[in-house]
Amino acid sequence: MASPTRIVRAAAIQIAPDFERPDGTLERVCSAIDEAAAKGAQLAVFPETFVPYYPYFSFVLPPVLQGAPHLRLAERAVVVPGPVTQAVAERARARNMVVVLGVNERDHGSLYNTQLVFDADGTLALKRRKITPTYHERMVWGMGDGAGLKVVDTAVGRVGALACWEHYNPLARYALMAQHEEIHCAQFPGSLVGPIFAEQMEVTIRHHALESGCFVVNATGWLSDEQIRSVTPDANLQKALRGGCHTAIVSPEGKHLAPPLTEGEGMVVADLDMALIAKRKRMMDSVGHYARPELLSLAINDRPAQTTVPMHAAFPTPTVPRSPDHDHHDDPAGQPAADDRTPVLRVAAG
């Protein structure tokens, strides 16, 4: 079960968005990729919906006051593919780096919490949407689907990703485990809820590393005091926009590979020794020798969600048996005669 020696240097980036300039956060992303590359990183992970920014307003404002900030977020949201994805792809390719970026994706009239995985050659390897927005987030984002519960092969290995409280959905995590993810990229908003959020986050990512037998690279965002005041002038509500930061890198043995970052901006950089995956799974492989599929298994609907289905796909026309002596009279348009349609209609109706 020995694995060849392979080391991947990863960077988990804790950073503040730019609330003021529409392209400001994208510029910060590109600069952080350059900085991570200067440190030798081959993988960079950014916080949840970092571009243009996480909708912090939805946590502290009542619905009746959310209209203007929600529309502003929609105006600055990311179309995939589009100028933002092109800029990040070009920077990933220039730095030969895998980049995992959270964005607010705009798809016509709806917004989604979307995770993008760019391979080191700039290819968009994965676009997935958070399957269930959490609590206040349901005022902002639509729901994702199972089509994005995928692990993708990249230059640094097999990469999977989940956002925030998706890590509390054990079946979503198991869907990625079953695809043998090697590096799990987790994203949280940061500057939210308070210190207890950071404590819960640490438990969550360390447990996933142990259970999946993979590395976890987790990135959370950060807000300055000035940014917090811009979200709400209420001093009591401002308390809800502090704490909750825990940017960290964890090994398959559940150990921190570098001190986590809980305050301010910066990045956590660590070397991932991929041989540790085999070391962990030798004893506990939750989708292999430690699984009991004849007792417990997971069914996944991995089809993209669709609001319309062509009728020919929803109700395929069955083949109607005909006797060799049957006289077929088709009209010039290729439709069967009226008598021949009757059994078809009965089948379609159930």
Q: Hey, which residues are catalytic here?
A: 48, 130, 164
Whether residue 302 contacts residue 149, with contact meaning beta carbons closer than 8 Å, is answered with yes
Could you give the C-alpha distances from 159 to 29, 151, 180, in angstroms and in order? 20, 5, 9
Distance of CA 80 to CAs 54, 127, 272, Å? 17, 8, 30
List Cβ neighbours of 271 (8 Å cut-off, separation of 6 or more). 7, 8, 9, 10, 257
- CA neighbor of 46 nearest in space, from 90, 92, 96: 92
- Could you tell me the two tokens for 124? 């968009």
Between strands 266-273 and 7-14, the pairing is antiparallel
Closest alpha carbon to 139 in 69, 71, 58: 58
Residue whose token pair is 């909708």: 55
Residues 127/114, Cβ–Cβ less than 8 Å? yes
Q: Determine the Cα–Cα distance for residues 28 and 245; give it in Å rounded to an integer.
A: 19
Q: How do strand 152-154 and strand 7-14 relate by DSSP bridges?
A: unpaired
Instruction: Tell me if residue 11 falls in helix, strand or coil.
Output: strand
What does the radius of gyration of the chain's CA atoms come to, in whole angstroms?
A: 24
CB contact at 8 A, 152 and 122: no
Query: Chain-centre distance of CA 119, in angstroms?
Result: 15
Closest CA to 8 of 261, 268, 183: 183
* Residue 184 near residue 215, CB atoms below 8 Å: yes
Alpha-carbon distance 117 to 121, whole Å? 11
Could you tell me which of 185, 158, 176, 213 has the C-alpha nearest to residue 10? 185
* Token pair in block for residue 134: 């959490």
